[in-house]
Amino acid sequence: MIVALIVAMDARRGIGKDNRLPWRLSSDLGRFKQLTMGHHLIAGRRTFESIGKPLPGRRMIVLTRKRDYTAQGSQVAHSLVAALRLAQAAGETEAFVIGGGEVFAAALPYAQRIYLTLVHANTGAEVFFPKIDYSYWQEVDRKEYRRDERNEFDHTYLVFDRRGAPEKSLPAAESPSLAA
pLDDT in tens, 71-115: 999 999 999 999 999 999 999 999 999 999 999 999 999 999 999
Q: What is the pLDDT of residue 172?
A: 67
The yes-or-no verdict on residue 47 having pLDDT over 50 is yes
Beta carbons within 10 angstroms of residue 37's beta carbon: 11
Percent of the chain having pLDDT more than 70? Answer: 95
Asked whether residue 137 is domain-assigned, the answer is no
Q: What is the pLDDT of residue 84?
A: 97
Asked whether residue 176 is domain-assigned, the answer is no
pLDDT digits (tens, 9 = 90+) for 11-27: 999 999 999 999 999 99
Length of the chain: 180
Asked whether residue 153 is domain-assigned, the answer is no
Asked whether residue 177 is domain-assigned, the answer is no
pLDDT digits (tens, 9 = 90+) for 141-180: 999 999 999 999 999 999 999 999 999 998 764 444 444 4
The answer to whether the Cα torsion of 121, 111, 51, 31 is positive or negative is positive
**Whole-Å CA distances, 92 to 36, 40, 83, 98, 175:** 12, 7, 12, 16, 17
Asked whether residue 167 is domain-assigned, the answer is no
Asked whether residue 26 is domain-assigned, the answer is yes
**Dihedral in degrees, nearest 10, Cα atoms 49, 53, 57, 63:** 30
Asked whether residue 21 is domain-assigned, the answer is yes
Percent of the chain having pLDDT more than 90? Answer: 93
Q: How far apart, in whole angstroms, are the C-alpha atoms of residue 47 and residue 53?
A: 10
Question: Which of 179, 180, 176, 166 minimizes the C-alpha distance to 88?
Answer: 176
CATH of the domain at 128: 3.40.430.10
DSSP 1: -
Q: What is the pLDDT of residue 75?
A: 98
What residues contact 92, with CB distance under 8 A and at least 6 apart? 1, 39, 40
What is the residue range of 90's domain? 2-132
The total number of structural domains that make up the chain? 1
pLDDT digits (tens, 9 = 90+) for 121-137: 999 999 999 999 999 99
Asked whether residue 140 is domain-assigned, the answer is no
